[in-house]
Chain A
Amino acid sequence: MIVIGGGHAGTEAAALSARSGAKTLLLTQNLETIGQMSCNPAIGGIAKGTVVREVDALGGVMGRATDRAMIQFRMLNRSKGPAVWSPRAQCDRGLYRRAVRTELEALPNVQFRQGTVARLRLRGDRVAGVVTTDGREFAARAVVLTAGTFLRGRIFIGVDTVIPGGRAGESPVEEIAQDIDALGLTRERFKTGTPPRIDGRTVDLGRLQRQDGDSEPYWFSHFAEPVHPAQLPCYLTHTSDALREIVAAHVRESAMYGGAIGGRGPRYCPSIEDKIVRFPTASRHQIFLEPEGLETREMYVNGLSTSLPVDVQLRLLRAVVGMERAEMTRPGYAIEYDYFQPTQLDRTLSVRQVKGLYFAGQINGTTGYEEAAGQGVVAGLNAAAWALERAPIVFDRSMSYIGVLVDDLVTRGVDEPYRLFTSRSEFRLLLRQDSALRRMAPTAITMGLYGPAEKSRATGRLEAEQEVMNLASATTIRPDQANDLLGRAGETSILTPMRVAELAKRPNVDLADLLANAGVPRDYDTTRWAAIEIRYAGYLDRERGMAARLAEMEAFPIPAGTRYETFLALSTEAREKLTKVQPATLGQAARIPGVSPNDLHGIVLELQRAGPPMHRST
């Protein structure tokens, strides 16, 4: 199995393929940039942090690498319900890259080669291998392409500067892009941007608001708790009126607004030009200065993504409070690149018309390291399964954000770079960062992804959590043991002994404290899962009920190659969309925009008329 690309999708694809037992080759233009963070130096965040936990629980590298590279950690949304607590870490870019390489090298099945792929080798409708630009050939039964922003990448700074490139200072790839065009896939363009970097020594940090991380340490990985590097603060500042005027005066010189770029960019990662043009009345915008690493004073200017000319960028920077004397080390830029509409993939991220070819990451129209990693896992596992002639694996929406991500992509397609949010899931309460191992471990164990030590650590952890749950249900607590605690939480006291699980439903009363007072203390960390499950029990039941209804729809298969044009009862729009997406189940069909309940009814009638539902062959 060959993975093309060594970014966040490629490295996870390689790791999961290797763990599946497939002989895996990671082929990339530059081995030095394996695990490179192209944009902001942070991993995790809302919904994304949960994906990192899921990737880790399946055996991926992102969580482990983050734990070795984090220089600041914060649990976002801590003031909101625990269902949406979201871990995020600032990372040292260098440490992160090296940690990813180290983690991959720990997997004996992974080999590395530096080289640029020029062509796919096909045998009939199957992948047979790849050929590099320097003429080397590699045979493989499966190929995962994770090209990031490199396919026909064009970097824009202002309206006059256009540099072919996949990242600042790195060449784009053209040949493989042409080769894929020949497959007849629908290709489109997206753009994204990155802010300038500055020399931290030229910033008046004393005037800025210092942001330290949490004091409690946190580990993304379920399998190791290495000592974290030294911790650094970030700094919060904001734009000024002067900055707004500069942007307004020069907006036509921006690549985005000057008409140089046609591709669509993400609404949630707007450039400073976007912010000023779209919200002209906002008096100021936040700017976060984030350290690039421990051994450099260079800083990432989060919030100031721009494609204005270099000289304007410098003036902008100096119009930020505390940055009046800032020196710019690297300008920001916009980048435009090819992606392929992901509705051309099935739920294993396999290109429908070429067996053994998988796409993961930005090539599918997504944005974000974590989204790339999640797809890398799915593509890597399935490419290996294909190569080893095993059954494919599909990730369910109700089981993971990875499942939500892939299902959204292949079912709905994209019209702007796709980012995950908790709101994309109808199972927000089930898909928590604290439950990732419980949700993913059964799959990992069935597929043999864990080593013996990992397996015993995972099962040990899950059993300990379950033991707490059982203990909470079985243990009663007396009024004299409980009332002090209840009083402090502002809750009414109890008169007769009660089950710990019953009292733990009350807000502000913690399960760990109750167990301790009842004489059965347990490690705080181990009690988290049960505490949340008890607190949310009614809601979780409702979500599980919804998941069960969804499962019924998912259990109704639609044969591959169904000819919707012969289904008379469907609306024209539904017929077109269904033909394009080729859903594998009735549940997936239901999520296609433009397919109504009436259309679903029509599909069922037509399929039943055609005979009993066939089992899908893969």
Chain B
Amino acid sequence: MLSDLICATATPSGRAAVALVRLSGRGAVSVALRVLHWIPEREPEPRRAYLAVFHEADGTPFDRGLVTFYLAPASYTGEDLVEFACHGGLLTSSQLLAALTALGARPALPGEFTRRAVTHGKIDLIQAEAIGDLVDATTRAQGRAAIRQLHGGLSRRLADLRETLIDLLALLAYDIDFPEEDDGPVDRTALGAAIGRTTAAIDGLLETASLGERVRRGALVVIAGRPNAGKSSLFNALLGIERALVTEIEGTTRDTIEADLDLDGYAVRLADTAGLRSSEDRIERLGIEVSRRYLGAADLILLCVEGGADLTDEEQSLAARSNTLRVNTKVDLCSLPSPGVSALTGAGLGDLKRLLVDRLYGDVELLGDTTPLLTRERHQQGLAAALAALRDAAPEAGQGGDAVLAAHHVRRAVTALDELLGRVDVEEVFGRIFERFCVGK
């Protein structure tokens, strides 16, 4: 299980106490030993850290650090792998890489270590994506979703779906290839029901797609309202910093401002928009156009309404949208039903934050650890393709349908899942038949 030797720094470049350099592939151990000038009295023990001096190709020592050896297949990549912890900064890690390449290693391509882990079956493609997500995660919820995906939540669910479809293929193959058996023809109603259950399960997963995408990329929350409704104040209050300019002059915010917010562990992209009104000012009009586009893309709209004011037509139509939350602002000036906030005093802010989390991510909490989330467009497309194929299969699998065509469509569905996961094998289909039916004269 050894491929050619690659090396790369695993930690970001720049000043730091420690930099981690990894070396993986055929000859990793012997190349490492040469850099360390290790006289092999005895082989290094795997998974044990050794303090050693690192040498350049000409033999000059340049650093001292910890080295850990992993032997295939018990390593991240599934190959022989060596980890060097050298001192941080630009110099030492590049000296180390130079020493390694001088001995035959080549610089790794982006993601190549993880790619090798997939190649060697340490993880599947979906888990590899989760590693990327985990590295990119900035909030606890993102981290949690990534970890769940990495631990195989989604992979297992897709594998289960695929299993069901292989069972279906086996039944259809039995129907076609074994027409004169003891057990008689396959019950078409049961076939139809099995397809129904699978489509429902895929539907269920697809429903999590927007949520999963939301967790991974952060929910877009757009603050809207008429000029001077206190939008920018709310924006700043939620962020906890003076990010947007706040004046008493209507139309101060002309362009939309975005900022990232960690709300109780969930990622939120918060956008402050120009106040909605008809304006003669060309720049302000452009700003309002931008606001409207943001409103179209928003996961949630916070409609700011100053202390009990009547709603304009546009505000009313906004308030009627299912993803709009009306927020009464400047409650320090009057008393009003919640949710109401005062950016000035901070009253109601905590409640509003909790409400936001609930509205945006309540379903995630409800799903808990039982349903994996689809976090990528790729997952969604693969499952949508499988779903479409199964919808085509349903009438053909039922009474009076053509089993050959049903099998054709189910196979399409399996292929779609395979693109997410693995490969179909015809022997698998026969295996199922022989487990279940007494076939053969």
A270 to B435, CA, bound (A): 13
Q: Which residues of A contact B438 (CB under 8 A)?
A: 270, 275, 278-279, 282, 285
Interface presence of A569 (CB below 8 A): yes
Whole-angstrom distance between the Cβ of B424 and the nearest chain A Cβ: 10
For this complex, 24 residue pairs linking A to B, each with C-beta atoms less than 8 Å apart, are: A47-B177, A76-B180, A77-B179, A83-B404, A84-B404, A267-B434, A267-B439, A268-B178, A268-B434, A270-B440, A282-B438, A285-B182, A286-B181, A305-B441, A421-B177, A422-B173, A422-B177, A426-B411, A428-B407, A428-B408, A542-B408, A568-B3, A571-B1, A572-B1
Q: Other than the known A266-B440, A275-B182, what 16 A-B pairs have Cβ atoms closer than 8 Å?
A: A46-B179, A76-B180, A80-B404, A81-B404, A279-B438, A285-B182, A288-B441, A421-B430, A422-B173, A422-B177, A423-B177, A569-B4, A571-B121, A596-B119, A597-B423, A598-B119
A501 to B280, CA, bound (A): 63
Q: Contacting B2 at CB < 8 Å: which of A47, A422, A568?
A: A568
Interface presence of B405 (CB below 8 A): yes
Q: Which residues of A contact B439 (CB under 8 A)?
A: 267-268, 270
Interface presence of B144 (CB below 8 A): no
- Assuming the contacts A47-B177, A285-B438, A303-B441, asked whether A539 and B425 have C-beta atoms less than 8 A apart, the reply is no
Q: Is the CB of A593 within 8 A of B425?
A: yes
Interface presence of B118 (CB below 8 A): yes
Q: In chain A between 218 and 271, which residues have their CB closer than 8 angstroms to a CB of chain B?
A: 266-270
Interface presence of B402 (CB below 8 A): yes
Total interface residues on A, using CB and 8 Å? 44
Q: Per-residue CB proximity of B173-217 to A under 8 Å, as 1/0?
A: 101111111100000000000000000000000000000000000
Mark B residues whose CB is within 8 Å of A: 1-4, 25-26, 118-121, 169, 173, 175-182, 402-405, 407-408, 411, 423, 425-427, 429-430, 434, 438-441
Among residues of A, the one whose C-beta sits closest to the C-beta of B118 is: A598
Interface presence of A429 (CB below 8 A): yes
Interface presence of A424 (CB below 8 A): yes
Q: Which residues of A contact B404 (CB under 8 A)?
A: 80-81, 83-84, 422, 428-429
Q: In chain A between 61 and 84, which residues have their CB closer than 8 angstroms to a CB of chain B?
A: 76-77, 80-81, 83-84
Interface presence of A302 (CB below 8 A): yes
Q: Per-residue CB proximity of A20-52 to B under 8 Å, as 1/0?
A: 000000000000000000001000001100000
A268 to B176, CA, bound (A): 14
- Assuming the contacts A423-B177, A568-B3, A571-B1, asked whether A81 and B429 have C-beta atoms less than 8 A apart, the reply is no
A423 to B407, CA, bound (A): 9
Among residues of B, the one whose C-beta sits closest to the C-beta of A211 is: B180
- Assuming the contacts A80-B402, A539-B405, A596-B119, asked whether A569 and B3 have C-beta atoms less than 8 A apart, the reply is yes
- Assuming the contacts A275-B438, A421-B173, A568-B26, asked whether A80 and B403 have C-beta atoms less than 8 A apart, the reply is yes
A597 to B125, CA, bound (A): 12
Q: Per-residue CB proximity of A422-449 to B under 8 Å, as 1/0?
A: 1110101100000000000000000000
Whole-angstrom distance between the Cβ of A608 and the nearest chain B Cβ: 15
Q: Which 5 A-B pairs have the closest CB atoms?
A: A423-B173, A81-B402, A421-B177, A81-B404, A303-B441
Q: Is the CB of A593 within 8 A of B427?
A: yes
A266 to B438, CA, bound (A): 12
Q: Per-residue CB proximity of A565-593 to B under 8 Å, as 1/0?
A: 00011011000000000000000000001
- Assuming the contacts A270-B438, A568-B3, asked whether A84 and B182 have C-beta atoms less than 8 A apart, the reply is no
A423 to B166, CA, bound (A): 12
A568 to B121, CA, bound (A): 16
Q: Which residues of B contact A46 (CB under 8 A)?
A: 176-179
Q: In chain A between 184 and 215, which residues have their CB closer than 8 angstroms to a CB of chain B?
A: none
Whole-angstrom distance between the Cβ of B330 and the nearest chain A Cβ: 61
A106 to B3, CA, bound (A): 60
Q: Which residues of A contact B429 (CB under 8 A)?
A: 423
- Assuming the contacts A76-B179, A266-B440, asked whether A429 and B408 have C-beta atoms less than 8 A apart, the reply is yes
- Assuming the contacts A275-B438, A429-B408, A593-B425, asked whether A77 and B2 have C-beta atoms less than 8 A apart, the reply is no
Q: Which residues of A contact B3 (CB under 8 A)?
A: 568-569, 602
Q: Which residues of A contact B440 (CB under 8 A)?
A: 266-270
Q: Which residues of B contact A426 (CB under 8 A)?
A: 411
Q: Which residues of B contact A275 (CB under 8 A)?
A: 182, 438
A539 to B389, CA, bound (A): 13
Q: Which residues of A contact B181 (CB under 8 A)?
A: 286
Q: Is the CB of B176 within 8 A of A84?
A: yes
- Assuming the contacts A80-B403, A278-B438, asked whether A423 and B4 have C-beta atoms less than 8 A apart, the reply is no
